[in-house]
């Protein structure tokens, strides 16, 4: 399973662009917060950090067409978020703040949609059903045709620390299929990475739901 998952993970140069975007967003946040000064209610701070990180991630991807990625803005209810799309491998990437003190997200409808075909994608890559975790019972998603099932990745960051992780959720959102720290990719030498052949963003059409969304309160498995 590990070798198949490695083929589905972000490429080194993609990791670098996103990790640097997160760190650059945090630096901008420090500068802006210092300029504004302390306020009485301090309500805008977490939202400002989120917005600046999203801006920097999008900027890094837009300025590097060799990444074969495009960025779109979506909404779950009143919550806007960015989706980074690998146009060659049919992989969607969410960039999200991890809940304080948690290593996994509370299950939600929109994150569930991005994770719903993750196991199907791995099976298209050669994963056998008996390779799945014993506590996971797989239900196949709607067959969209060969090569059409997307793979959903989350890049999660800690708001107060420099910890940044890459992972893919199981479709039931109870655990990760994989999760690893990717901080070191900010120092990556991109000259050693082989790029994929670029595809024109005009050839790709994103078809993600934009309907109002709600969090689904489910009990998580303790790690």
Q: Alpha helix locations (H) across the chain? A: 2-8, 12-36, 45-62, 109-115, 118-124
Give the percent of the chain with pLDDT over 90.
55
DSSP 8-state symbol, 86? E
Using 50, 70 and 90 to split pLDDT, how confident is the model at 43?
Answer: confident
Tokens read off for 113: 């949609």
Mean model confidence pLDDT for the chain: 82
* Owner of token pair 């690893």: 180
Query: According to the model, what pLDDT value does residue 191 have?
Result: 53
pLDDT at 113 over 70: yes
Reported as a single tens digit per residue, the pLDDT across 46-89 is 789 999 999 999 999 999 999 999 999 999 988 999 999 999 99
Query: According to the model, what pLDDT value does residue 61 have?
Result: 98
pLDDT at 104 over 90: yes
Tokens read off for 77: 């209810």
Left (φ > 0), alpha (ψ -120 to 50) or beta: where does 197 sit?
beta
DSSP 8-state symbol, 100? T
From CA 91, how far away is CA 103, in angstroms rounded?
22
From CA 195, how far away is CA 210, in angstroms rounded?
32
Of 222 and 121, the structure prediction assigns the larger pLDDT to 121
Reported as a single tens digit per residue, the pLDDT across 136-187 is 766 665 555 555 689 999 999 998 888 999 999 999 999 999 999 999 998 7
Give the percent of the chain with pLDDT over 70.
78
Tokens read off for 116: 């719903």
Pairing of strands 176-181, 164-169: antiparallel
């Amino acid at each position: 399973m590990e070798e198949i998952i490695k083929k589905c993970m972000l490429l080194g140069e993609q990791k670098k662009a996103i990790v640097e975007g997160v760190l650059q967003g945090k630096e901008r946040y420090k500068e802006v917060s210092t300029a504004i000064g302390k306020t009485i209610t301090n309500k805008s701070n977490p939202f400002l950090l989120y917005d600046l990180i999203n801006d920097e991630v999008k900027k890094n991807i837009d300025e590097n067409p060799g990444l074969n990625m495009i960025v779109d803005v979506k909404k779950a209810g009143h919550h806007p978020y960015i989706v980074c799309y690998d146009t060659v491998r049919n992989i969607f990437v969410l960039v999200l703040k991890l809940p304080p003190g948690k290593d996994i997200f509370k299950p939600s409808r929109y994150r569930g949609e991005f994770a719903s075909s993750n196991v199907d994608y791995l099976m298209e890559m050669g994963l056998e059903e008996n390779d799945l975790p014993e506590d996971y019972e797989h239900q196949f998603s709607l067959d969209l045709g060969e090569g059409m099932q997307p793979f959903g990745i989350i890049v999660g960051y800690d708001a107060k620390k420099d910890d940044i992780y890459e992972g893919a959720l199981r479709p039931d959102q109870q655990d990760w299929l994989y999760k690893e720290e990717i901080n070191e990719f900010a120092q990556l030498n991109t000259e050693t990475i082989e790029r994929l052949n670029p595809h024109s963003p005009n050839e790709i059409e994103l078809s993600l739901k934009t309907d109002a969304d709600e969090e689904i309160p489910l009990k998580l498995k303790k790690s």
